[in-house]
């Protein structure tokens, strides 16, 4: 089952700036995670927000930078990678 646009927006707002899982977000909205396909939700969400591949926190897609390896990193993780 696909999320409605209002639920997708609410999920995006809930996850942004957290390290919560999709399942936690769905539960916080009062939805049963077993009724939804994570792959479809991620596809819809990643137009707007994405997980940092370093710290696993959700960020607005415009706040993440691509590394030469193809990872998406927040500013802090990118700086840590440069210093390593």
Query: Average pLDDT of 46-53?
Result: 92
Q: How many domains, the chain? A: 1
pTM of the predicted structure, to 2 decimals: 0.86
The answer to whether residue 18 scores a pLDDT higher than 90 is yes
Is 39 in contact with 73 (CB distance < 8 Å)?
Answer: no
Q: Report how far apart, in Å, the C-alpha atoms of 31 and of each of 35, 58, 64, 71 are.
A: 8, 20, 29, 31
* pLDDT tier at 1, thresholds 50, 70, 90: confident
- Which residues constitute the domain of residue 24? 5-83
């Amino acid at each position: 089952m696909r999320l409605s646009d209002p639920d997708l927006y609410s999920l995006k707002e809930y996850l942004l700036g957290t390290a919560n899982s999709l399942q936690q977000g769905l539960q916080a909205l009062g939805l049963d995670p077993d009724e939804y396909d994570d792959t479809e939700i991620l596809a819809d969400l990643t137009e707007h927000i994405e997980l940092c591949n370093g710290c696993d926190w959700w960020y607005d897609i415009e706040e993440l930078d691509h590394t030469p390896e193809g990872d998406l990193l927040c500013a802090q993780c990118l700086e840590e990678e440069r210093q390593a």
